[in-house]
Structure formats: structure tokens, C-alpha cells
Amino acid sequence: MISPAEAAGAAEKFLRNALGPQGQLLSGVKLEEIEHSKSKNRWWVTLSYPEESLFPSLRTYKRFAVDAQSGEVLAMKIRVVA
């Protein structure tokens, strides 16, 4: 099984690749949450990064499903923070 740090790293790499050239320049990425789901054998990783807006304190949140055995990112979803 991969470690939590490896799962977070896989999620960040996926995020940067998914955003293309903009993702390579992305700064301020933060790990917000990480949780292991034994039933599905996945890591759930939430990352955030600054929104491109007039309000730099606003952040975009993404939640990733990472296979706990292979480290493959299976899904990326919008994470709404209440």
C-alpha cells in the first residue's frame, strides 16, 4: 500500500497535469484532507489552490480518489466547502 504522502503527491501531480500549462505554474497548493477508505482500498485526498480572482483568500478545492495499491488517481471532483 502507498503511504499518505505518496497519495497526496500523486493527486498533486494529477492536478498539475490536468490543468495543463496553467497547472505547471500553479503555486500555493495545500493538502487539506486525507482519508483512507478500507472498503474501497482508496485514499481520498483534498487539495486546494488559490482562485484566479480579485480575492486571493478564495481557494478552489478538489477531491481525488487514489488507488491505495497502485497510486493511480481514479477520479478528481469538485469539493464544496461549507
What does the pLDDT look like over 3-12, one tens digit per residue?
A: 999 999 999 9
What are the residue ranges spanned by the domains of the chain? 4-78
d(CA 60, CA 71) in angstroms, rounded, equals 23
Provide the CATH number for the domain formed by 4-78 in this structure: 3.10.450
What does the pLDDT look like over 26-69, one tens digit per residue?
A: 888 999 999 999 889 999 999 999 987 767 688 999 999 999 99
Chain mean position to CA 11: 4
How confident is the model at residue 22, as a pLDDT?
Answer: 84
Helix (H), strand (E) at residue 48: strand 42-50
How confident is the model at residue 66, as a pLDDT?
Answer: 98
